[in-house]
Amino acid sequence: MPILQQLMPGFLAMLVLYWLAEIPKPPHFERVLQALIITGAIQLLVLGMEKLAYFLGNYYSLGEWSEASGRAIAVILGGGTGIALAYICNNDIAFSLARKLRLTTRASQGDAVHIHKKMSAHAVIIHLADGRRMMGYIDAFPNDRQTGVYLISSPHWIEGEAAIPSTLTHSYMILGTDVQWVEFLN
C-alpha cells in the first residue's frame, strides 16, 4: 500500500490532465512514465513545503507536520498539477511561448482544434458533403472528425447567395464526417 500512496499524486495529475485537456492520449506506457516523472516532482515539492513549514513553525504554528499531512499535500498538489497542465494545454500556453521563441510551429491541440479556438468568434459557413451549406457559429468542434460532431448555433441555410434563417431551430448538430470544409467569415 505505501507504494500506491507514493505514486498516487502523479497518477492523479495525469488522470485529471487527460480528463480535462483536449489532447490525444499517448500510449499507456508513455502515460505511466509521465505519471512517474510528475510523482518525483511532487515529492520534491512536498519535501520543500515540509522544510518551509518547519521554518515557519518557528514563528507561527498551524499544527504538527505528519506523514498523513505530507500525503494530503501530495494529493492536493497532484490534482492541482493536473488542472494546471490541462489549463496550459487547453490555452496553448507552452506551445505559444515555444512558437514565439521559434522553437516549433506546432500547437498543443490538433491543427483543426487550434484553428477553431483561434477563430471561434467568427461566423462560419459549413460546406457539407452533399453540397448544402450552412452559416452560423461553431459552439462545439469535434476532437475526432470521424466520431465527433459540430454544434452550430444561429443556423442559416445558404441557398445561392441568400442566407435563410432556421427560425425555429436554436442549433444543429452535424457529424464531422458530413463536413467537407469550414469557411471562416470576417
Domain ranges of the chain: 3-101, 111-184
- For the chain, what percent of residues have pLDDT higher than 70? 92
**Helical segments of 58-110, H only:** 67-90, 93-100
pTM: 0.66
pLDDT at residue 46, as a whole number:
95
Tell me, what DSSP letter sits at residue 176?
Answer: G
Return the CATH class of domain 111-184.
Answer: mainly beta
In the chain, which stretches have pLDDT less than 50?
Answer: none
> How far, in Å, are 88, 124, 145 from residue 116 at the CA level?
17, 10, 13
